[in-house]
Amino acid sequence: MKCRALHKMNIVIYPGTFDPITNGHTNIVERAAKIFDKVIIAVAASPKKKPLFELDIRVNLAKQVLAHLSNIEVIGFDILLADFINKHNANVILRGVRAVADFEYEFQLADMNRQLAPQAETMFLTPETHLSYLSSSLIREISSLGGDVSSFVHPKIVDALKQVHLANTQK
């Protein structure tokens, strides 16, 4: 009798604030979607960061931007990342590292998550070089000052940024 090895699903969680999602984040998700069975983009509430976009809007925007990928899911969360990982039976935490400056914080986060969720390994991907200088706060700042961010974010994000800045100027 043949014994078929059971294939364990590799579920990866890619957490972040995504305020808003940029082409750098998308690049990481697209590459992760080729490696893992399922990629969960976990959009953190991150109240301390005082995000420009509400959590449900950040989730919706990420869903629209990543609609071309089939093995992904976008979920908002406001609990401990370790609890979110357990809830979704994930075995990998994915983080993007752009430059040396990111390393210290990423090591701290990885060490802490190893203590809190030992069943999950943190893995890192680097974005492609032309996207390595991107950050959501730079995008928000350039856009708020009327700069063109269309090379760095999806057209849906360009529109969302325009709308939110227009609403803010009319207040």
Residues in contact with ligand COA by the rule CB under 6 A: 15-17, 19, 22, 24-25, 28, 44, 46, 49, 80-81, 96, 98, 109, 112-113, 127, 131, 134-137
Select which of 31, 98, 114, 165 is catalytic.
98
Which C-beta is closer to ligand COA: that of 64 or that of 124? Answer: 124
Which C-beta is closer to ligand COA: that of 38 or that of 76? Answer: 76
Residue 118 CB, nearest distance to ligand COA (Å)?
Answer: 13
Select which of 25, 38, 58, 140 is catalytic.
25
Is 49 part of the annotated catalytic residue set? yes
Is 130 part of the annotated catalytic residue set? no
Residue 113 CB, nearest distance to ligand COA (Å)?
Answer: 5
- Name the one residue in this structure whose structure tokens are 């972040």: 16
Is 154 part of the annotated catalytic residue set? no
Which C-beta is closer to ligand COA: that of 113 or that of 143? Answer: 113
Name the DSSP class of 7.
Answer: P
**Which residues, 6+ apart, have CB-to-CB distance to 162 below 8 Å?**
143
Contacts from 77-81 at CB under 8 Å and sequence distance 24+? 77/42, 77/43, 77/44, 77/45, 78/44, 78/45, 78/47, 80/116, 81/13, 81/15, 81/42, 81/44, 81/113, 81/116, 81/117
Residue 4 CB, nearest distance to ligand COA (Å)?
Answer: 37
Is 98 part of the annotated catalytic residue set? yes
Q: What distance in Å separates the CA atoms of residue 47 and residue 42, rounded to the nearest whole number? A: 15
Which C-beta is closer to ligand COA: that of 76 or that of 127? Answer: 127
CA neighbor of 69 nearest in space, from 104, 98, 108, 31: 31
Report, in angstroms and rounded to the nearest whole number, the Rg of the chain calculated over CA atoms: 17
Residue 90 CB, nearest distance to ligand COA (Å)?
Answer: 13
Catalytic residue positions? 25, 49, 98, 136
